[in-house]
């Protein structure tokens, strides 16, 4: 980020203070209780491993009797969960990283934390060819290089680890109260991509977020909107174009906070509007040796982790899975999995898939919540939501920071205890056009909220 960290810190805390004094930013009326005690009762408080069968014949039918789920068949789609971080900055390319963040060191830390792949998303080089200073020289604007470590990342990749050089296009308005936005740019192919492109992101105020997005698409990137709602205005997206491929719904800065929840709302609104946007996550790590859980402005590598379902550690397969939405994001150490089954327990679909609505009768949610520090043991709710077609009041408009309001229908709500795993069945009755997704989080807007996860959707047709 191109403004001094001191200013960003002050603005960040101011934004959080204002949000904490206002109403819950989650657009859905279905937000759960705001119980912050470590001992709040709930199904997750008793056993260490949950195996709970719920709900009813209709998600909103309080008089229906609980149903016993069948034995569930295992997922038949070939693949495994690859662990990745898709928002990482490195020294020599971004001008706001620590000196330790060399690509080779990033690989070492990534492997130690169990990652299979990392995408370097260094800021578009708004200072020209000098990434060692934040002082902007107009004589160097828009000259690149943008993919500084392109060859090095290929050298660092092997059969067990994949590193890809991407970019974060970073235009800005001199009036920092106005949004512009940062665009994550992941090359769709590593063989035919031109790493010598130079993005246009200056002069300040001349380049919109939508223009940066179009540049990323034009060069052949899978393009996502990073941290679309802040935490400060100047890094929020200006919504001047909506043809992005994904939205970062979980940015590592300050853990999963109210700004991420607004990003979830924007993603859910896209789904309601029929746009198959992929929910993405990224640590936004700038200093690779930061130890988990990190600090407000220094999130650690791999927090959160973006899990991608693929048959092999192969970049074309990763991109194909991103396009399909076979992605789930978590800082709990485990993927938040959502599968759909038939009445007899036969497996039908996973995250990112489409299914025949009449066949879908059970949702199965699996995952784990690692042991949380005592001062972070707020109640965590695991919720399953339905997104109905068209059910969103989309308030987004160019150059304004206004979140949409999706009408999320709550199908299941369960408290998950710290240091526990879960395998939960929810009875479904879906209509064509519905989509369902899972969210693990607490309800209190706060700094450094850990123990959160977001899944992409399963779609009914």
Residue 284: per-residue pLDDT: 97
Burial 156-168 (b: 16+ CB within 10 A, else e): bbeeeebbbbbbb
Residue 136: per-residue pLDDT: 87
Residue 48: per-residue pLDDT: 27
Compute the distance between CA of residue 229 and CA of residue 192 in angstroms, rounded to an integer.
Answer: 33
Across 25-173, the runs of DSSP E, i.e. the strands, are 49-50, 80-88, 117-120, 162-165, 167-169
Compute the distance between CA of residue 157 and CA of residue 341 in angstroms, rounded to an integer.
Answer: 37
Compute the distance between CA of residue 434 and CA of residue 271 in angstroms, rounded to an integer.
Answer: 9
**pLDDT band (50, 70, 90) for residue 9:** very low
Residue 47: per-residue pLDDT: 27
Q: What is the CATH number that goes with domain 5-460? A: 3.20.20.140
In this predicted structure, which of 68-72, 92-96, 120-124, 427-431 has the lowest mean pLDDT?
Answer: 92-96
- Which residue would you say has higher pLDDT here, 182 or 446? 182
**pLDDT band (50, 70, 90) for residue 375:** low
Could you read off the pLDDT of 290-334 as tens digits, one per residue? Answer: 999 898 889 999 999 999 999 999 999 999 999 999 999 999 999
Residue 10: per-residue pLDDT: 41
Q: Domain boundaries in the chain?
A: 5-460
Compute the distance between CA of residue 84 and CA of residue 118 in angstroms, rounded to an integer.
Answer: 6
Compute the distance between CA of residue 153 and CA of residue 148 in angstroms, rounded to an integer.
Answer: 10
Residue 372: per-residue pLDDT: 80
Mean residue pLDDT of the chain comes to 86
Residue 285: per-residue pLDDT: 97
Residue 128: per-residue pLDDT: 62
Compute the distance between CA of residue 301 and CA of residue 27 in angstroms, rounded to an integer.
Answer: 30
Could you read off the pLDDT of 395-413 as tens digits, one per residue? Answer: 999 999 999 999 999 999 9
């Amino acid at each position: 980020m191109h403004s001094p960290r001191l200013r960003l810190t002050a603005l960040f805390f101011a934004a959080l203070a204002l949000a904490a004094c206002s109403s819950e930013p989650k657009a859905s009326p279905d937000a759960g209780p705001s119980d912050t005690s470590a001992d709040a009762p709930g199904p997750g408080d008793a056993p260490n491993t949950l195996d709970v069968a719920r709900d009813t014949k209709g998600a909103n039918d309080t008089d229906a009797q609980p149903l016993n789920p069948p034995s569930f068949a295992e997922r038949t789609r070939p693949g495994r969960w690859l662990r990745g971080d898709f928002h990482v900055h490195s020294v020599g390319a971004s001008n706001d990283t620590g000196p330790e963040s060399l690509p080779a060191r990033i690989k070492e830390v990534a492997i130690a934390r169990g990652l299979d792949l990392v995408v370097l998303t260094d800021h578009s080089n708004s200072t020209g060819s000098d990434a060692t200073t934040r002082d902007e020289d107009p004589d160097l604007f828009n000259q690149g290089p943008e993919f500084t470590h392109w060859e090095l990342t290929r050298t660092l990749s092997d059969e067990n680890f994949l590193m890809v050089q991407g970019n974060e296009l970073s235009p800005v308005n001199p009036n920092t109260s106005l949004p512009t936005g940062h665009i994550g740019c992941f090359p769709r192919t590593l063989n035919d991509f031109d790493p010598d492109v130079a993005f246009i992101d200056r002069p300040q105020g001349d380049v919109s977020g939508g223009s940066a997005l179009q540049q990323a698409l034009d060069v052949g990137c899978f393009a996502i909107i990073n941290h679309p709602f802040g935490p400060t205005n100047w890094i929020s997206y200006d919504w001047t174009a909506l043809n992005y491929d994904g939205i970062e719904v979980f940015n590592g800065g300050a853990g999963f906070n109210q700004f991420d929840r607004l990003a979830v709302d924007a993603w859910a609104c896209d789904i309601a509007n029929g746009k198959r946007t992929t929910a993405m996550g990224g640590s936004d790590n700038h200093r690779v040796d930061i130890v988990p859980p990190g600090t407000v402005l220094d999130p650690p590598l791999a927090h959160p982790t973006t899990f991608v379902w693929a048959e092999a550690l192969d970049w074309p397969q990763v991109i194909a899975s991103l396009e399909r939405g076979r992605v789930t994001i978590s800082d709990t150490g485990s993927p938040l999995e959502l599968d759909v089954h038939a009445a007899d327990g036969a497996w039908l679909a996973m995250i990112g898939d489409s299914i025949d609505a009449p066949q879908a009768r059970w949702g199965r949610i699996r995952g784990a919540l690692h042991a949380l520090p005592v001062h972070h043991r707020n109640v965590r709710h695991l919720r399953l939501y339905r997104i109905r077609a068209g059910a969103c009041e989309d308030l987004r408009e160019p150059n304004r920071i206004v979140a949409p309001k999706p009408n999320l229908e709550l199908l299941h709500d369960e408290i998950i205890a710290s240091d526990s795993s879960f395998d939960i069945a929810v009875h479904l009755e879906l209509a064509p056009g519905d989509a369902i997704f899972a969210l693990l989080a607490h309800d209190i807007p706060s700094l450094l909220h850990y123990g959160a996860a977001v899944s992409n959707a399963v779609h009914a047709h």
